[in-house]
Structure 1
């Protein structure tokens, strides 16, 4: 199993709007792709960065599911994020494999 982690650092003024949008629109759209079996949204409480930091995490059963998500679904979904919150966030994406 694989964990796809998206860490976002948001401007203070965008954080509340972003959180609502993630919970009501973006995460349901990501999960509707069928490529992930679960998700969670976390707020980083000891971030050294300015702004508000969140991690959106999605669990894929196989690397093929993750790769399909990246090639088929991610570009359009990320474009929605980039359009709605343009110049108000920075995102870092990582893929991790469960080992235990």
Structure 2
């Protein structure tokens, strides 16, 4: 299992519009590509010096190949849409994580 993690800091002036877009449009459309089996949206509780609110979206892919297919076939248009809508009001960085083992209580 591969987790594609996108961490986003969003300016307060567009926060509500961005959050609605993420939950109602962006995340559902990414899941509709069939490259991921689920997604989790979390709020980062640490206050950033730069201001704004920070979130992390974790998209779960069954394999590195599925993630690579997303990069090649889908990612450019999704990134472009976010840049057009929120421009300099949104700062994002991405990481890839490999699940080694899961533990439950």
TM-score by length of 1: 0.96
Once the two structures are overlaid, the 10-residue window that deviates more, 62-71 or 40-49, is: 40-49
User: Following TM superposition, by how much is the alpha carbon of 1:37 offset from its aligned partner in structure 2, in angstroms?
Assistant: 0.4
In the TM superposition, structure 1's runs of 4+ consecutive aligned residues that sit over 4 Å from their partners are none
> Which structure: larger Rg?
2
Work out the CA distance in 1 between the residues paired with 2:19 and 2:88: 16
Determine the structure 2 residue equivalent to 1:43: 43
Partner of 1:31: 31
Question: Relative to structure 1, is the Cα distance of residues 2 and 47 closer, same or farther in structure 2, using a 3 angstrom cutoff?
Answer: farther
Task: Report what 1:76 is aligned to.
Answer: 77
Q: How big is the shift at 1:16?
A: 1.1
TM-score by length of 2: 0.92
Whole-angstrom distance in 2 between the partners of 1:78 and 1:48: 23
